[in-house]
């Protein structure tokens, strides 16, 4: 039993399961946008299917990322203790893990609706393909943002079987928000990326300019949050959540400096995880109160 728990813990660590807080709350926003409409009704079964899709998709994406980056992770002092380079999880086991989660993801969408099933290979292509983009473009941060941005629109489609403007706006929020904080995270590897021919904005522009670009992108995130509020006729809870979310966006730029990266992990993981959960909680609560 102890061995099984240790094995499960290793796989949770492999995929950084705690980072699910970045996208899952926005999937709940997409779900709530749909069920708040008079056309659709709340379904606990559908909600659980969406959550399973999120888990399987993230497991596949992160597992593939660790496989694709195994040689670089082994060279980087920051990442050499990860499960694959340290030998805790084998390449074969990680590959099987990715295949199983990819198949489970597609199979789960089949129980949702035809459009979700049809789009599932496209979603997999985006979220798995991100892992290879640092080899060819400094804009890989935006590909990561695009992958996570599928959460709100995907959840909305799962309920409605169609597209709509408001969930697309939330997807754009995720694109800019995630790409902005991923730039901050990648500051740690500027020198390593340059020495190993990997691409990132810090590698291309330097830390100081990369931080400025990240701040501009997060300003766009703030603007999109305001647009979503006006477009969706957000109530007082929405605007309260917006204030907190925006404050946390600003906070991460105040605590990370180009010459002091000691609080990058606080900005990347803790601050953005809290921001996502709080914002989603206020948005969902606002939708429920205004439509019940």
pLDDT band at 10 (very low <50, low <70, confident <90, very high): confident
Answer for the pair 266, 184: CB distance below 8 angstroms, yes or no. no
* Count of domains forming the chain: 1
* 12 or 246, higher pLDDT: 246
Task: Say if 273 falls within a structural domain.
Answer: yes
Question: What is the reported pLDDT for 209?
Answer: 97
- Of 183, 155, 159, 182, whose CA–CA distance to 171 is shortest? 155
* 18 or 66, higher pLDDT: 66
Task: Say if 15 falls within a structural domain.
Answer: no
Task: Say if 41 falls within a structural domain.
Answer: yes
Whether residue 13 is predicted with pLDDT greater than 70 in this model: the reply is yes
Average pLDDT over residues 91-99: 94
Whether residue 292 is predicted with pLDDT greater than 70 in this model: the reply is no
Question: What is the reported pLDDT for 189?
Answer: 95
In the beta sheet, which residues pair with residue 257?
260
Distance of CA 218 to the CA centre of its chain: 15
Task: Say if 198 falls within a structural domain.
Answer: yes
pLDDT band at 11 (very low <50, low <70, confident <90, very high): confident
Average pLDDT over residues 73-87: 92
Task: Say if 31 falls within a structural domain.
Answer: yes
pLDDT band at 2 (very low <50, low <70, confident <90, very high): low
Whether residue 3 is predicted with pLDDT greater than 70 in this model: the reply is no
**What is the span of the domain harbouring residue 125?**
21-290
Task: Say if 190 falls within a structural domain.
Answer: yes
Average pLDDT over residues 9-17: 74
Whether residue 218 is predicted with pLDDT greater than 80 in this model: the reply is yes
CATH number of the domain to which 48 belongs: 1.10.357.140
By percentage, how much of the chain surpasses pLDDT 90? 83
Average pLDDT over residues 191-217: 96
- Residue-wise DSSP of 47-116: HHHHHHHHHHHHHHHHHHHHHHTHHHHHH-TTTTTSTTTTTSS-HHHHHHHHHHHHHHHHHHHHTT-HHH
Task: Say if 81 falls within a structural domain.
Answer: yes
Average pLDDT over residues 101-129: 95
Task: Say if 9 falls within a structural domain.
Answer: no
Whether residue 290 is predicted with pLDDT greater than 80 in this model: the reply is no
């Amino acid at each position: 039993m102890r061995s099984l728990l240790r094995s499960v813990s290793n796989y949770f660590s492999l995929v950084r399961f705690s980072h699910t807080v970045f996208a899952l709350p926005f999937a709940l926003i997409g779900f709530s946008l749909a069920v708040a409409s008079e056309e659709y009704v709340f379904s606990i079964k559908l909600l659980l299917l969406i959550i399973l899709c999120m888990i399987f998709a993230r497991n596949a994406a992160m597992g593939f990322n660790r496989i694709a980056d195994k040689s670089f992770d082994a060279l980087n002092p920051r990442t050499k203790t990860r499960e694959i380079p340290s030998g805790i999880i084998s390449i074969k086991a990680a590959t099987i893990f990715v295949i199983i989660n990819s198949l489970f993801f597609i199979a789960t969408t089949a129980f949702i609706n035809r459009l979700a099933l049809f789009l599932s290979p496209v979603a997999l292509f985006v979220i798995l393909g991100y892992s290879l983009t640092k080899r060819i473009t400094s804009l890989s941060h935006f590909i990561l943002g695009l992958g996570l941005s599928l959460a709100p629109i995907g959840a909305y489609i799962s309920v409605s079987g169609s597209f709509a403007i408001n969930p697309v706006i939330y997807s754009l929020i995720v694109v800019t928000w995630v790409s902005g904080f991923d730039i901050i995270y990648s500051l740690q590897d500027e020198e390593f990326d340059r020495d190993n021919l990997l691409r990132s904005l810090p590698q291309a522009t330097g830390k100081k300019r990369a931080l400025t670009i990240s701040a501009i992108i997060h300003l766009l995130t703030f603007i999109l949050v305001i647009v979503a509020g006006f477009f969706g006729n957000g109530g007082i809870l929405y605007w309260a959540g917006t204030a907190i979310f925006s404050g946390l966006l600003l906070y991460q730029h105040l605590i990370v400096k180009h010459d002091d990266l000691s609080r990058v992990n606080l900005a990347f993981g803790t601050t953005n995880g809290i921001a996502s959960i709080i914002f989603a909680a206020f948005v969902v609560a606002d939708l429920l109160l205004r439509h019940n």
